[in-house]
Amino acid sequence: MLASAALLLAGCGPADDTPVLTWYTNPDDGGQAELAQQCTEQAGGAYRIETSVLPNDAASQREQLTRRLAAGDTSMDIMSLDPPFIPELAEPGFLALPPQDVVEATTQDTLEGALAGATWKDTLVAVPFWANTQLLWYRKSVAEEAGLDMDKPVTWDQLIEVARDQGKDLGVQGARAESMTVWLNALVESAGGQILENPEAPADQVQTGLDTDAGRKAAEIVSTIGQEGLGGPGLATQQENEAMLLFQGDNGSFMVNWPFVWPATNAAVEDGVLPEDLPEDIGWTLYPRVSEDTEPAPPLGGINLGVGAASEHQDLAWDAIQCIVSPEHQTQYFVTNGNPPASASAFDDPSVREQFPMAPAIRDSLDLAVPRPQTPYYNEVSTAIQQRFTPPVDVDPATTPAQTGRFIQEVLRGESLL
């Protein structure tokens, strides 16, 4: 008697045949679990969403998702997907395509960049949930001393000059990690080029666009910062977090980074780790340009929601996704977890402006944001770039781009190890 009561209390009672949807989430501040709960309640018993947390970094998330999908795991109902890895999953048909009505309902006001990141071969293969982009963060005192008008577009050459003149450090990411590809792609695209000319081609026909003026200009920026030591002493192992620490320090000047740095800096100030007047000295604007007369091409990140082709509850999963990505939920997720919405109207909520004064800049940046090369072989392309463009001090604008291009092609043809 007691035992059966305990069982019921523990939720192990009989007669609960509500379909369970598993949502594989990337680690966050609990926002996705919260949304899962809210949508479960809204569904009124049609389904129940349970979250399952993926590993910390994007590469490990991809490893787990890909292997589960390749093995035909039927529990892959909803997945939080990092945009660069979507082609790899879409090409072999691991992802179920969203029905037309879901596409229409969820992408009415989705920002351009976010939409591009969820598309493979002109078809939307996942639903944008939140979108990320990098801004140029600057110390107002440094910009003022240099006489830079930060309301006008800023170029990399200007930043390099200021850092050189004032002996300050630039917060860039020179570690052998994904952040290097993020940076290089933004540079090449802003210079008017592309890392891959035909990203949709089969592995043995991919042509790289690094051995071009755009590629060489991008390499020149990386190499100058590396060789002149403008990225700080830790440049060769510096990812986003390390760059933020550098920027917060006495030698901080400019930094390209995701918006997470704002809540992180404020939290550190509240904890008394950083001086109280630091946030007042921090400004933000659009990502720097490579040359004055070309648009910047800010990096694109974020999460799109996909449904596994082997999922047994695809219709319910699409219903749940529609609930999860509603503009109200995107606003809520931004305010509570700091991850910017993919939907334009979600930026209009007053609570957004209060928490994130840089929200308008993020919105503008998302319209300009350019995805990294959308190829099923993204992992190879990115790893090859990381191996050749790090440490930045060893980058030679004359030879590195061409060598990297050849290396990528050799790897894709299976002639070289990576």
Partner 1 sequence: MSSVPTNVPSVAPDVGPDVTPDAARDRGAGRGRRRELQAAPKSARTKAEARLGWWLAGPAFVIMVAVIFYPVLQALWDSLFSYRLTAPDEREFIGLQNYATILTDGVFWSALGVTALITVITVFVELILGFILAMVMHKAIKSTRGLVRTVILVPYGIITVVSAFAWYYMFSIDSGYVNNWLSWVPGFDDQLNWFAQGGTALFVIMFSEIWKTTPFISLLLLAGLAQVPEDLSEAAAVDGANWWQRLWRVILPNMKAAIMVAVLFRALDAFRVFDSIFIMTNGAYGTEVLSLLAYRTSIGRLEIGLGSAISVVLFLLVGLIALIAVKGFNVDLAGGRGGRK
For binding to partner 1 (CB under 8 A), which residues are involved?
59, 63, 66-67, 70, 88-89, 91-92, 94, 175-177, 233-237, 242, 245-246, 376, 379-380, 383, 390-391, 414-418
Which is closer to partner 1, CB of 66 or CB of 266?
66
For the chain, give the longest Cα–Cα distance.
80
Which is closer to partner 1, CB of 147 or CB of 414?
414
Position 252: which residue type?
G
CB of 235 to partner 1, least distance (A): 8
Could you give the CA distance from residue 119 to residue 128 in angstroms, rounded to a whole number?
10
CB of 243 to partner 1, least distance (A): 10
Which is closer to partner 1, CB of 63 or CB of 396?
63
Which is closer to partner 1, CB of 164 or CB of 176?
176
Per DSSP, what are the bridge partners of residue 130?
303, 341
Residue 91, burial from CB neighbour count under 10 angstroms (0-12, 13-18, 19+): middle
CB of 88 to partner 1, least distance (A): 6
Which is closer to partner 1, CB of 192 or CB of 234?
234
Report which of 305, 320, 303, 309 is spatially closest to residue 21, judged by C-alpha positions.
Answer: 320
Could you give the CA distance from residue 336 to residue 305 in angstroms, rounded to a whole number?
19
CB of 391 to partner 1, least distance (A): 6
Strand 78-81 and strand 20-25: the pairing is: parallel
CB of 233 to partner 1, least distance (A): 4
Could you give the CA distance from residue 156 to residue 154 in angstroms, rounded to a whole number?
7
Could you give the CA distance from residue 319 to residue 310 in angstroms, rounded to a whole number?
17
Residue 273 CB: number of other CB atoms within 10 A?
10
Which is closer to partner 1, CB of 212 or CB of 379?
379
Could you give the CA distance from residue 325 to residue 341 in angstroms, rounded to a whole number?
9
Report which of 294, 286, 306 is spatially closest to residue 365, judged by C-alpha positions.
Answer: 286
Which is closer to partner 1, CB of 107 or CB of 181?
181
CB of 90 to partner 1, least distance (A): 10
CB of 392 to partner 1, least distance (A): 10
Could you give the CA distance from residue 23 to residue 32 in angstroms, rounded to a whole number?
9
Positive or negative, the Cα torsion across 403, 405, 411, 413?
A: negative
